[in-house]
Structure 1
Amino acid sequence: MNMDFIEALKEIEKEKGIEVDVLLEAIEAALISAYKKNFGSQNVRVSIDRVTGEIKVYARKSIVEEVVDPKSEITLEDARKAHPNYDLGDIYETEVTPREFGRIAAQTAKQVVVQRIREAERNIIYDEFVSREDDIVTGIVQRQELGNVYIDLGKVEALLAPTEQINGEQYNYGDRIKAYIVEVKKTTKGPQILVSRTHPGLLKRLFELEVPEIFDGTVEIKSVAREAGARSKIAVYSKDENVDPVGACVGPKGIRVQTIVNELKGEKIDIVKWSKDPAEYVSNALSPAKVISVDVNEEQKIARVIVPDYQLSLAIGKEGQNARLAAKLTGWKIDIKSESQAGPGNAGVVEEE
């Protein structure tokens, strides 16, 4: 190696942000292993000149009164033949650079530099994506293996596990999809990015992207309840009395919410107005059903709801879905009765799951 090699390392430092000293220290450590592998297992130190790139190998021995292991020890008398200032306990060094060591050194250095560059690039990608946890990414479906879907994000692939896939949704090669970053892990093979299509956070982020009033903070998302692929409910609130939070989310002619529905492949979305009044909030959460009255028990956090007879099935929903989502959205147990059932004991309580 020579000065050109040092200059090459300086270019790598500029481009990849890996300090020259860090690279040289890694190369020196690797050359020690290479020397022991090719020339014996004695204790050695490798030094690379930071200016010229010249490499030297030094055998290291402990200075002792009596030698037990000649490979690692030397007497004080013999050490002082080389330099009179040596004392017991010092480390004696002598150069043992093999003539043919240059070729091995060049090959080893190349491997170390390539490895360090790869590690640096992995760290850059990790740092980029770990800061984007709980955010949306857009990628292209690359392949499927053992039920897992791999999504190309440009610099790295993301993993969409079977448990995070919307039931019945097809993921075909080349499809462009949005997903929610659940977790970014550091592994020996680089960052592993775990994404989801079922997480409630995906719905929340989609609304933030589509609705300017949410992005600028005028409208706030208070709660999200989701049964991915089937139906979702989202509760919104406006800090500005002149802004209708539901209308803002629906958009002109429903275009904003329809864009989100299309992205989620037809998932139905109920947008309801949040209220600090529990009775009003529960009533809104049961939309699209109409509610006659809501009686709340603050201590037990149970809301007893009465709806018109013809609205009972709508309020409960198919297989209890509407009532279940309303309970999840509000955090209240909901007891729904029709007017004719308003007597005690005729309806069950739907709890938040």
Structure 2
Amino acid sequence: MEKIGDFVLGRVVKALPDRDSYLILVNGTQPFAVLPKQYADRPYRVKDTISAAVYRLGEMYPVLSQRCPHYIRRISESILRPVLADGEVRIRRVATGLRSPFVKIAVESEEGVDPVRLCVPYGQSYASYTRLLVSFVRYSTDLGRFIRNALAPAPVDRIRRIDVFREEQMARVLVPAECKGYFLGKGGMNVALASKLTSMAIELGTEP
């Protein structure tokens, strides 16, 4: 465990109320790390085993997270190994939110192959590592198409127009007024994750 993004296994030693964190005894050379409760996807008790990724390097101990893109990518590399190993599927991007129960993973394949269809059968395996609900998104170098894909499970077939402004790193998506709530998602989480996944600030506009 030497750098940000490293995958770690460990055991909860004790809670740290003053830091609102757990002290983790890590398997390997680095003896201890901390897992802030806001970065944990469930409550833990002493002696519970955990897996996580290094989120940042703290002053005393590395800080772990089970909600960061690094962690989701690492477990995806394990879960999706059968389709990743032979190059059928490639993981391009991962988007998570601190308070979001969802995660979006952008995957791609060769032309004519649907990477989402190949990944979906492995979706239930994520429950062994995380309580986050995983959604696979088809990656595209066409930003308009990628944004459309990233906004699912909203009814993307109802999108009227997508205007992409590359220099400003933003896009305007025009949808029917009655559908806007679906595109926003609960608390705006769907459009927020889509923005993170595409690295574009997505603005939703409506028309009757």
TM-score class normalised by the smaller sequence:
0.7 to 0.9
Please state how far the C-alpha of 1:319 moved relative to its aligned partner: 1.7
| Dislocated runs of 4+, deviation >4 Å | 183-187
2:49 maps to which of 159, 176, 179 = 176
Higher helix share: 1
Please state how far the C-alpha of 1:242 moved relative to its aligned partner: 5.1
| In structure 1, C-alpha distance between the alignment counterparts of 2:177 and 2:56, rounded to whole Å | 46
SS in 2 for 1:151: strand
| In structure 2, C-alpha distance between the alignment counterparts of 1:337 and 1:269, rounded to whole Å | 27
2:176 maps to which of 302, 305, 308 = 308
2:25 maps to which of 139, 144, 152 = 152
SS in 2 for 1:173: coil
CA contact (8 A) 1:207 1:214 kept: no
Please state how far the C-alpha of 1:325 moved relative to its aligned partner: 1.2
| Rg comparison, structure with higher value | 1
Residue 139 of structure 2 is matched in structure 1 by 274
Deviation digits for residues 204-239 of structure 1 (CA, Å, limit 9, x no counterpart): 11111100223454322222211145222121111x
CA contact (8 A) 2:37 2:43 kept: no
SS in 2 for 1:195: strand
CA contact (8 A) 2:12 2:50 kept: yes
The one-letter code of the counterpart of 2:43 is Q
2:196 maps to which of 328, 337, 346 = 328
CA contact (8 A) 1:286 1:315 kept: yes
1:206 maps to which of 52, 75, 80 = 75
Higher relative contact order (CA 8 A, sep 6+): 2
Residue 257 of structure 1 is matched in structure 2 by 123
Please state how far the C-alpha of 1:323 moved relative to its aligned partner: 1.0
| In structure 2, C-alpha distance between the alignment counterparts of 1:164 and 1:297, rounded to whole Å | 34
CA contact (8 A) 1:237 1:245 kept: yes
Please state how far the C-alpha of 1:322 moved relative to its aligned partner: 0.9
User: Structure 1 regions of 5+ residues with no counterpart?
Assistant: 1-128, 341-353
Please state how far the C-alpha of 1:276 moved relative to its aligned partner: 0.9
The one-letter code of the counterpart of 1:237 is E
CA spacing shift, 1:316–1:141, aligned 2, 3 Å: same
Deviation digits for residues 44-82 of structure 1 (CA, Å, limit 9, x no counterpart): xxxxxxxxxxxxxxxxxxxxxxxxxxxxxxxxxxxxxxx
Aligned length: 200
| In structure 2, C-alpha distance between the alignment counterparts of 1:201 and 1:307, rounded to whole Å | 32
CA spacing shift, 1:335–1:162, aligned 2, 3 Å: same
Q: Would you say 1:162 and 2:36 are equivalent positions?
A: yes
Q: Would you say 1:234 and 2:127 are equivalent positions?
A: no
CA contact (8 A) 1:140 1:177 kept: yes
Please state how far the C-alpha of 1:280 moved relative to its aligned partner: 0.5
Higher strand share: 2
SS in 1 for 2:148: helix
The one-letter code of the counterpart of 2:129 is E
Percent identical pairs in the alignment equals: 31
RMSD: 2.6
The one-letter code of the counterpart of 2:96 is R
TM-score (norm 1): 0.51
Deviation digits for residues 69-97 of structure 1 (CA, Å, limit 9, x no counterpart): xxxxxxxxxxxxxxxxxxxxxxxxxxxxx
Please state how far the C-alpha of 1:173 moved relative to its aligned partner: 2.2
